[in-house]
Chains A and B, each alone.
Chain A
């Protein structure tokens, strides 16, 4: 068996999600190859070659792949991927955008968001917002899979010395182009890889009050997230949303502040190691998943917590 992992990267660096995906590939077993498709992405390819357990790195360096446009990258992956037993990508917005397109080009029914590998053709995945876990077996020759990164411990980023091979395929579907992006700039860790995450909900009342959480986060080296209610209310931007339709996080410590605990929010954070809930409503469902619940007004509790840390 040989497995093709599609690297998530920004042309300069490999993103952490790639390491979790390599870990899933190891759980399947077989030769692991990584595809780095990008533009001027030599540095990312070199980093990929150092990941422990990787046998080969394929680099497709072309302007058409610079922004990971699904139309172009999917063609490339389909060109390369047919002979592999498995094609894996992280279940990030980039992976979810591109991989089903690859699957359809290969006439394969993809398997989204796997949580566990049962065997080479059988996987566990969440359905119904994580309220049910399905065990799914694929009969396709090539398995096309996205990996829920929080479910697999990251592979070691250093120590490997894979061969780097250039792929000279320039795919340009000619139907899409990149216009621009607005990416959040922050000195805090990334939500999906932070060891500590503090999230605010509707109880925060407005965007300015999130400042309290940022202060607390800076003391704890934490990332700041939000519930869908807080995002929909316009308190904070969408990239902060934790939940079934936002980001899935599983930090060592998750602090939910003024979050009631809707099912769709719980689906995004319930695999955290320790959950703390601060809410003045003692009936809030969030307390049913919290290891430590503090029934208190967040506007008293959060500043007190920050001062005492």
Chain B
């Protein structure tokens, strides 16, 4: 069966981003860009399913400027078979991304769509669920285990109280949580091979999707800074401060 994996280009997780001085946006000039860590887990899961013989083809999709090809190539180096770039310089919000993915899913007819549960830039945690609504597919969000069965997939989900397992009819959507797997490193030969794998380019217009943003960011600012407090010398001093100064224990 075919799997569609969505990968997003984001500011690398090691970079601490800051708002621009005028507060209009975050400053992403000259910062390192990478594949979103949750998307990397999604690719890894698809590759493992392929290695198990459950999956026959993995298609990696990304959206945004031309440079998103780099993240598709990363996915191809990890084991995806071909890539699709939905190229646009427009701002893409999750609803628009979900609509583009729906258009691609209509064409490609995957049995499984695997996405990261959220991207580490916008932290929205929306796209997979919205793709579920648009396609009518069931969703297994925040997955920590995925087992494909005959005509269905069993997904164990990380929920507030512990774990929940649901069964979804195929085709279905899975969004990955951190503990689903540990992604491999791409080997040099695979990075070289990835350069020769097919990568098609399309656009929101070609897919018939209106990507006009529905929300406007009025400003961005740093969060209220927390001041470092004092070091205490002993457990006794700590207890004294908590009782008499902070008054949080009796």
Contact = CB atoms under 8 A, between A and B. Distances in A.
B21 interface: no
A100 B125 contact: yes
A252 B215 contact: no
10 contacts: A67-B164, A70-B132, A101-B130, A101-B133, A110-B126, A132-B26, A136-B215, A136-B216, A177-B166, A275-B229
Interface string A172-183: 011111111111
B17 A131 contact: yes
A309 B223 contact: no
Contacts of B118: 245
Nearest to B172: A175
Interface in A62-111: 67, 69-71, 74, 92-94, 96-105, 107-111
Interface string A266-279: 00001001111000
B223 A130 contact: yes
Interface residues of B, number: 77
B61 to A, nearest CB: 18
A209 interface: no
B221 A133 contact: yes
Nearest to A243: B178
A93 B165 contact: no
Given A104-B98, A133-B223, 8 more contacts: A98-B129, A126-B223, A183-B162, A238-B179, A239-B163, A275-B229, A288-B226, A292-B242
For the complex, would chain B's binding face be called helix, strand, loop or mixed by DSSP majority?
A: mixed
Given A93-B142, A93-B160, A184-B162, A103 B121 contact: no
Interface string A126-151: 11111111111111100000000000
A202 interface: no
A218 interface: no
B1 interface: no
Contact of B215 (A138, A182, A245): A138
Contacts of A134: 217, 219-220
Contact of A291 (B16, B18, B95, B229): B229
A46 interface: no
Interface string B111-147: 0000000101111111101111110111101101000
B177 interface: yes
B183 interface: no
A165 interface: no
Nearest to A263: B16
B157 to A, nearest CB: 8
Contacts of A177: 166-167
* Residue with the highest number of chain A CB atoms closer than 10 Å, among B163, B229, B234: B229
Interface string B1-24: 000000000010000111100000
A100 B132 CA distance: 9
A113 interface: yes
Contact of B129 (A70, A126, A292, A305): A70
A97 B230 CA distance: 41
For the complex, would chain A's binding face be called helix, strand, loop or mixed by DSSP majority?
A: mixed
B218 interface: yes
A69 B95 contact: no
B90 interface: no
B161 interface: yes
B48 interface: no
Nearest to B126: A100
A184 B242 contact: no
A101 B137 CA distance: 11
B239 interface: yes
A110 to B, nearest CB: 6
Contact of A69 (B17, B162, B166): B166
Given A104-B129, A104-B130, A238-B179, A295 B249 contact: no
Interface in A186-215: 192, 196
Nearest to B223: A133
A293 B166 contact: no
A304 B221 contact: no
A111 B215 contact: yes
* Residue with the highest number of chain A CB atoms closer than 10 Å, among B19, B172, B213: B19
Nearest to B10: A128
A188 to B, nearest CB: 13
A175 B138 contact: yes
Contacts of A276: 238, 242
A127 B136 contact: no
A85 to B, nearest CB: 15
A82 to B, nearest CB: 14
A220 interface: yes
Contacts of B238: 276, 292, 294, 305
